[in-house]
Structure 1
Amino acid sequence: MISQRLNEHWQHYTGTLGGVWEVWRGDKLQNHYNVPWQAVTLPHTYNGLDAMDPDSKYYQGEAWYRYKLQLNNPYPEGRTLLHFEGAGQRTKVYVYTEEIGEHLGGYDEFRIDITEAHALQHRVERYEGKIPLAIMCDNSRELETIPSDTSDFNLYGGIYRYLNLVYVPAISLEHVHIEVDTSGLQQAEATEQRHCRIAVRATLYNPAMKQEELELKLEIKDAAGRCVAKSTLQCKPWQQEQQLAQFELPNPQLWSPAEPALYTCSVTLKSTYGETALTERFGVRYFQFQKKGPFYLNGERLLLRGTHRHEDHAGVGAAMTEAMIREEMQLIKSMGANFIRLGHYQQSRIVLDLCDELGLLVWEEIPWCRGGLGSEQYKQQCRDMLTNMIQQHYNHPSIIIWGLGNENDWECDFDYFDEEQIRRFMKELHELAHQLDDSRLTAIRRCEFCKDIVDVYSPSIWAGWYRGIYTDYEESCKAAFENVDSFFHMEWGADNLATRHVEKVYTGFDFIAGSGASTDERDGDYLLTGGEPRVSRDGDWSETYFCEMIDWYLKCQQSMSWLTGAAQWSFKDFATPVRPDSPIPYLNMKGIVERDLTKKEAYYVFQSYWAEEPMVRIYGHTMKTRWGKPDELKQIRVYSNCEQAELFVNGQSLGVKLRSVDDFPCAGLRWEAVFRPGENHIRVLATQNSIQVEDQLSFVYQVEVWSEPVELRITTHKQEDGRIFVEAAAYDLQGVFCPDASFFVRFGLTGNGRLLDNLGTIHGSRLVQLAGGRAGIYVDPTGGRRAVISETDFVTAGGPAAAVEAAFGKQQPAVPLSIVSVIAEGMKPAYTVLC
């Protein structure tokens, strides 16, 4: 098999066409009536920016890609395939104007065989022997497809995972599955007679039904590359899946988060049509969700410490490159996680490969998410996507759970809702999953009337956010644990705006019922209006509160001996069409990192409980200003996994404190100090087994009292890469900075250059709430020399035009001009000129 990624030289058009001929019509008509094609690189989505546009709904509809394909298949009578690692949400493939294949489903892989397309046999002369390839992707909403558009994520369109050109012989291997039987390990835990059995099964790709003799060679190597088993066989081609060999591995090296040992199985097929090979990795491990008890991996209790992932990134949406994915997954591992739920759909093969390599246990699920249950067509898509997910990701030792759905009690897509019908179909999917793979378990999250059907169940527990207060967490979990055989807490957390910090958090303790009150999220609780008092509606959405909540949850989890595990929602902020009122519109802001992977303070709270490498972090690195009264005692919080830490304020030691998990908050690593007005500097030195780590930060302590903000002031900062950071800050009538101001501001740009917006980050959004009294955005200016005319110059000169004239004289500068504005309701607009 020969495979190559087709990344470069693509052209794209967003919109519908009169027909596939319009893809190529412009070539014949010499650009008359031509479609405005744009050069793009794969992976690509046409929703990379508009998913975060605060002023309009993201585009859902058809879009087109075209490519001139040079073929060079070396195999006699070989097959030429297009292997899509994922494209959304419905895909049709054309060679010239002939449709040769289609696929429904935005997240599973599929292959299109273009060998026998008419245009391959009769090459179009005007393309000089190249194959004109056209691909239509369509993410239009259809009620009879999954996922529902009421799901809390965007249904991206485009070829947003890698597309590969693949050459294979006339007879080749399609799938190789390695079945690992660990019963011999489990039965011999107390002895040295430990072994496992490996069965290797395969399916062929043989569309022409060739019958020539095959020779197959199998070889298994351990993690060190040593051959531990091999065999050869000769046979005729077969249909469906067939077992090729069975091996016994004595005393195998076990896969675990701490030591993710991977074996490889190589199968080489040789025939008169050529030789091809598939190499698959697998691991040896066994696990158990003890009935009414904790989780065990390889016979030992393991507390599953997890998070969740959406395929979504600033500026590119779902079209993440391999480098982006690797950076994200490494951050998750470095945080100390040993588990991840891939919500709410089958994700990239790159993600699963990294979970295997890094040691992250996985719950992966199909996108039957909210909406109810549709017709037979709807059900068949669920079956197909479950089958594809299991077949395509069968060999990954990281996967322990196949998810069958999410929030299936959330009705909205149909004018009927039948619980019994959903139960029957859930049971069908459960049985299908076990038929395809009986070595793993099934699970769902939040559908109480189906919790007895699946192997593992997660109820909805959002103590301290959508319902209740965070100190209700352990009691809520214990009550849910008693109602199912295997309990796993998926999804907890709080929305938090990056760089927003407060001196006193809103916890809801004084206003929200606690101690036994319901903590489950209900339909509509995510809205910012109506309903009962809740922190999600009434709170400050600060990093300060989020860190405090995390601290409490992790402290509790560490002492809950019966707990299987829990996973915070979600590792990264992500785009969603159902949250237009968020402080950054259309963003779910529950991330530990921003949408561009910038770490928030929460990342270090998790590290203080989960990471093994010594670390220390003073809370508030992005809190430029703290405030209070002169001589007021202020708390300094430090998060560390070290046994002790010493704090210094303005060079003076405040003493050494010992870490104790039960001492909330910060496991006892907190100090009180009096800050001096103006600049302050804090340093901490933490020690663990003679290893020392340190952290430091500076901030301004403001003692001046402020009133309501009435104006915005702009500053600019040139970056090394040529961008300009424009920041607006709120001040009151007396000119005192307002560090707790949190209203919306809108940035605009007139003239040359552009705002770097629609990124879904605190400094990449043109409509955003202030955080710490400030908001900022980056500007990409055009060439020429740069001068900055401040908002004060505008006021003095009498307006933007007069300010430019005052700076440059009556003759306008012969360089590009950009006027950046920032406005907020009830305030006079502020401006700065970049030129």
Structure 2
Amino acid sequence: MKSSLSTGKSLFLLLLSSLLVLNAFAQDSRKIINLNKDWSFQKGTNSTVERINLPHTWNAFDVMDDTPGYYRGIGTYKKKLVLKPEWKNKKLYLYFEGANQVTEVFVNGKKLGSHIGGYTGFRIPLSGLKFNGTDEVSVKVDNSYNENIAPLTADFTFFGGLYRNVSLMVLATAHFDDNQYGSKGVFVRGENVSQTNAEVLVNGNLVNHGVAKKIIVTSVLTNANGKKINEVKFLTSAKANQTIAFQLPKIQVVNPILWSPDHPYLYQTTTKLIDYQTGKVVDEVKTTVGLRFFSFDVAKGFFLNSKPCKLIGASRHQDFAGMGNAVPVDLQVKDVELLKDMGGNFLRVAHYPQDQAILDACDRLGILASVEIPIVNEITESVAFTANCKVMQLEMIKQNYNHPSVIIWAYMNEVLLRMRHADNAERKQQYLNNIEKLAQELEDLTRKTDPTRYTLMSNHGDVNGYIKAGLVKIPMLVGWNLYQGWYGGKSEDFGPNLDKIHQQIPDKPILVTEFGADVDPRIHAFAPVRFDKSLEYGMLYHQIYIKDILKRPFIVGAAVWNLADFNSETREETMPHVNNKGLLTLDREPKNTFFLYKASLQTKPFLKIGDGSWKLRSGVANVNENKVIQLVQVISNTDTVELFANGQSLGRKAVVESTSNWNFPFKDGVNQIKAVAISKGIKIEDNAIINFVVQPFNFKDGQEFKQLNILLGSQRQFIDQQKQEVWLPNKTYENGSWGSIGGEIFKPKGNSRQSYGSDKNIKGTTNDPIYQTQLIGLDAYQLAVPKGKYEVTLHFSELVGTGASNLPYNLDSLIATNKEVPEQRIFDVFLNDKQVIEGLNLSATYGVANAVQKKFECVVTDDKGIKLVFKNIKGKAVLNALQIKQIK
């Protein structure tokens, strides 16, 4: 029922109630008690019981090991509840901010409730309590695969556990209520907002679990300084166990201060329930309010408060290095602060609702946001799947409704990526029809629940497929996840592809909801190519994308995939189990790509030596030289930059697409780099210290030799950050120098992504790039090192095959099941004419994709140096990497 002030009697009662409130000093409002400390936890039924604190996940570490898969099952959490006797007449609830993904809650052995879905909060009412110190809450959480719960599959890890805060809510018998969808039960929004006027609407639900009583509902709007602007209230009668929907009169605001990224001004409403008889405040909810109005135009883009505003920022996953998704609030808020520091104004909260602290930070910092539920890749055509998706959508909307930063609700991502029934045209069409039906139902539900925001679906690059499936016509906005120049094609194809999509769908505003390229910060390449994972390729890729996005007004917004690296257990590649497309690392260290966006988006002067984080470098000098010329990149939004090499100016260069590139003369040892720019009469500078190891072209007797690390079959450098070692790409042997003799670079068959090397997870190492490239069929490797004693380490890994076992392979079985057959290669290795390896059979002895090291010592007494000779017995010999150290 709805209550209103429509009669003179109501007005009289309202005035009387106001007097009661003014004279009332008693308050009996809600208490929220954090329960994160001192839980016991048991994984499955056979593991030991641990003492833990929340937030907690049982998958923080098993997702990073070399064993495929991670624990998906049941975890049980238990905790003693110490309840105060004075709470016996209160309504008690447990509030879970997030538990993945099916949760059952018991108190004293009695099941009190359950929840489906891993990314939204929920409330469980407590009953049957003893209040004598023996009450125990038990929470069973299950992250097993469930075909009726989204997400079914995705390029991220489904961490299990109580990974967000848990609280005890102590409420009066009459309180604001949303037991069904986990919100606070009070919803606030701005309406009819303009530069000169605005209205604030407050509505919600209250419940009275006690005796019938009269209740005053009041809401006060204050400005950012706490000054009262206006107040509205009404009186209602609530019977015992009655739930009442209420809507307060509109609060008028004259000359509102509008919320925007540049000025995220927040008002606040304090909404109370007051017992009419006693004057006690029995419940209170505070809500921040941002007054803004916005629209999307298919040709001109996004407008906020009547001003054009290009939405540009990043998507975000919620996990952190070593923590999984059980991340403290302060680290989560830091992500939003980093996005703001980057110059971004848009956060795609993907692919699921995240901690309320994220959107609180967006409200405070002025970041516009899109939030979505985790329907990713595919759906299940069941009544239960549809019902669960609808509940997720309602929970997402109602729990995040009061955030002014949220402008978009979304509900599907790349839903055609894993197409079912591809071999049955009729059944496939039925599946597509069911996806369309679910999308339309979610669209209708969203618009009905919150008509003030826009709706969005994000699709992968199969534009014609989504158009044909009828999915493009359903949402108000269409997002495209585009990776030209990464998963296929060239980066230069991106802009023309945007134009083509706009022509195909001229009536829908377009966002680029994903784009990115893997950047492993340990890898560098001076001739970068697609899928080499180098920082340099990532920079070139993003420069093209930034330019093409910014110059097209019909692209209303764009979100880099991703703000930070994130865990994806099924990925292999150079850093197994991590998607490296982040602008920040998994532990939130910025990459050069982060600084590129900072230079492109920030308005205040910015200057950064892009290779400042590349503090250890190496290279090979030219003949008779003792220095190495290598690229140094300066990232800036100024017009020109001057660079200094060890105190000497290299001159000034223009900044083009936020970078200036320099041929820097590195000497052996410590190198000082300084970049200077003048912007608006203000001098800004950045400094970096680089330790450089110059490897001479020719080694001479008497010359100090320390170490040489070589990647065979590679065109990239690799930095072992733990050992502080630089691995250089191989070169062909030249007289008096070092290099390979014979052999060809390993190139994977049937892999359109990579031009060389493997993307397999190499087990037994965290330095996978050392083993992911190789030379095949090499005859020898020669190094004209000075006289002395050396340690020679050969690094091997078989890169062809399934990698499923390190036992001898049953080739007939592999062939019969059409699996990748490992190479049958057997070879000997001789070191300075001495046989050091006999009949090495990598696949039979060690299996596929395992790191193998063979270490030997030798003494060089003449000018011939070190020579390794490979003799084939069967197939072709391989070598992945080589390490030479002089032994003192």
TM-score band, normalised by the shorter chain? 0.7 to 0.9
Q: What is the distance in 2 between the residues matched to 1:57 and 1:737?
A: 40
Q: What is the distance in 2 between the residues matched to 1:55 and 1:201?
A: 52
Aligned residues of 1:52 and 1:586 also touching (Cα < 8 A)? yes
Q: How far does residue 424 in structure 1 lie from its aligned partner after superposition?
A: 1.7
Superposed, 1:393-542 pairs within 5 Å as 393-411=400-418, 417=428, 418-446=431-459, 447-448=466-467, 449=469, 450-484=471-505, 485-506=508-529, 535=530, 539-542=531-534
Work out which of the residue numbers 551, 560, 572 in structure 2 matches 1:559: 551
Work out which of the residue numbers 382, 387, 393 in structure 1 matches 2:389: 382
Q: What is the distance in 2 between the residues matched to 1:378 and 1:47?
A: 25
Name the amino acid aligned to 1:825: V
Structure 1 residue aligned with 2:675: 684
Q: How far does residue 209 in structure 1 lie from its aligned partner after superposition?
A: 6.3
Structure 2 residue aligned with 1:181: 191
Work out which of the residue numbers 250, 255, 263 in structure 2 matches 1:259: 263
Percentage of pairs with the same residue: 27
Q: 1:76 to 1:831 in 2, by over 3 A?
A: farther
User: Aligned to 2:448, what secondary structure does the other structure show?
Assistant: helix
Name the amino acid aligned to 1:566: A
Q: How far does residue 464 in structure 1 lie from its aligned partner after superposition?
A: 1.0
Are residue 151 (structure 1) and residue 158 (structure 2) matched? no
Structure 2 residue aligned with 1:620: 611
Q: How far does residue 675 in structure 1 lie from its aligned partner after superposition?
A: 4.1
Q: How far does residue 372 in structure 1 lie from its aligned partner after superposition?
A: 2.7
Deviations 1:284-318 (A, max 9, x none): 11111102331111101111111010111111111
TM-score (ref. length: structure 2)? 0.72
Are residue 575 (structure 1) and residue 556 (structure 2) matched? no
Please list every run of 5 or more consecutive structure 1 residues that lacks an aligned counterpart in the other structure: 18-34, 507-534, 711-715, 718-723, 744-761, 775-791, 797-821
Name the amino acid aligned to 2:556: T
Q: 1:684 to 1:794 in 2, by over 3 A?
A: closer
Choose 1 or 2 for highest CA Rg: 2
Q: How far does residue 772 in structure 1 lie from its aligned partner after superposition?
A: 13
Q: How far does residue 795 in structure 1 lie from its aligned partner after superposition?
A: 9.2
Superposed, 1:346-357 pairs within 5 Å as 346-357=353-364
Of 313-322 and 764-773, deviating more is 764-773
Deviations 1:43-65 (A, max 9, x none): 10111111222223110000111
Q: How far does residue 765 in structure 1 lie from its aligned partner after superposition?
A: 10
Structure 1 residue aligned with 2:249: 245
Aligned residues of 2:792 and 2:884 also touching (Cα < 8 A)? no
Q: How far does residue 619 in structure 1 lie from its aligned partner after superposition?
A: 2.2
Structure 2 residue aligned with 1:161: 164
Q: How far does residue 393 in structure 1 lie from its aligned partner after superposition?
A: 0.6
Structure 1 residue aligned with 2:204: 202
Q: What is the distance in 2 between the residues matched to 1:765 and 1:619?
A: 32
Q: What is the distance in 2 between the residues matched to 1:210 and 1:369?
A: 47
Q: 1:704 to 1:769 in 2, by over 3 A?
A: farther
Aligned residues of 2:31 and 2:170 also touching (Cα < 8 A)? yes
Aligned residues of 2:510 and 2:554 also touching (Cα < 8 A)? no
Structure 2 residue aligned with 1:363: 370
Q: How far does residue 223 in structure 1 lie from its aligned partner after superposition?
A: 1.9
Q: What is the distance in 1 between the residues matched to 2:790 and 2:71?
A: 41
Q: What is the distance in 2 between the residues matched to 1:773 and 1:459?
A: 32
Q: What is the distance in 2 between the residues matched to 1:348 and 1:134?
A: 23
Q: How far does residue 498 in structure 1 lie from its aligned partner after superposition?
A: 1.6
Q: What is the distance in 1 between the residues matched to 2:140 and 2:165?
A: 16
Q: How far does residue 205 in structure 1 lie from its aligned partner after superposition?
A: 3.6
Are residue 56 (structure 1) and residue 57 (structure 2) matched? no
Q: What is the distance in 1 between the residues matched to 2:528 and 2:722?
A: 29
Q: 1:496 to 1:735 in 2, by over 3 A?
A: farther
Aligned residues of 1:42 and 1:159 also touching (Cα < 8 A)? yes
Superposed, 1:821-832 pairs within 5 Å as 824-825=851-852, 827-828=854-855
Q: What is the distance in 1 between the residues matched to 2:683 and 2:362?
A: 31
CA-atom RMSD, angstroms? 3.3
Name the amino acid aligned to 1:358: L
User: Aligned to 2:284, what secondary structure does the other structure show?
Assistant: strand
Structure 2 residue aligned with 1:768: 767
Please list every run of 5 or more consecutive structure 2 residues that lacks an aligned counterpart in the other structure: 1-29, 178-184, 460-465, 698-707, 713-718, 747-760, 774-788, 794-848, 857-882
Deviations 1:2-61 (A, max 9, x none): 0021121111111147xxxxxxxxxxxxxxxxx621111101011111122222311000
Q: How far does residue 463 in structure 1 lie from its aligned partner after superposition?
A: 1.6
Q: 1:765 to 1:267 in 2, by over 3 A?
A: farther
Structure 1 residue aligned with 2:685: 694
Name the amino acid aligned to 2:515: W
Q: How far does residue 90 in structure 1 lie from its aligned partner after superposition?
A: 0.5
Name the amino acid aligned to 1:284: L
Q: 1:209 to 1:244 in 2, by over 3 A?
A: farther
Are residue 141 (structure 1) and residue 145 (structure 2) matched? yes
Aligned residues of 2:200 and 2:251 also touching (Cα < 8 A)? yes
Q: How far does residue 771 in structure 1 lie from its aligned partner after superposition?
A: 7.7
Q: How far does residue 613 in structure 1 lie from its aligned partner after superposition?
A: 3.7
User: Aligned to 1:245, what secondary structure does the other structure show?
Assistant: coil
Q: How far does residue 599 in structure 1 lie from its aligned partner after superposition?
A: 1.4
Q: What is the distance in 2 between the residues matched to 1:341 and 1:97?
A: 41
Q: What is the distance in 2 between the residues matched to 1:427 and 1:69?
A: 44
User: Aligned to 1:371, what secondary structure does the other structure show?
Assistant: coil
Q: What is the distance in 1 between the residues matched to 2:551 and 2:792?
A: 60
User: Aligned to 2:415, what secondary structure does the other structure show?
Assistant: strand
Work out which of the residue numbers 531, 546, 549 in structure 1 matches 2:541: 549
User: Aligned to 2:225, what secondary structure does the other structure show?
Assistant: coil
Are residue 640 (structure 1) and residue 636 (structure 2) matched? yes
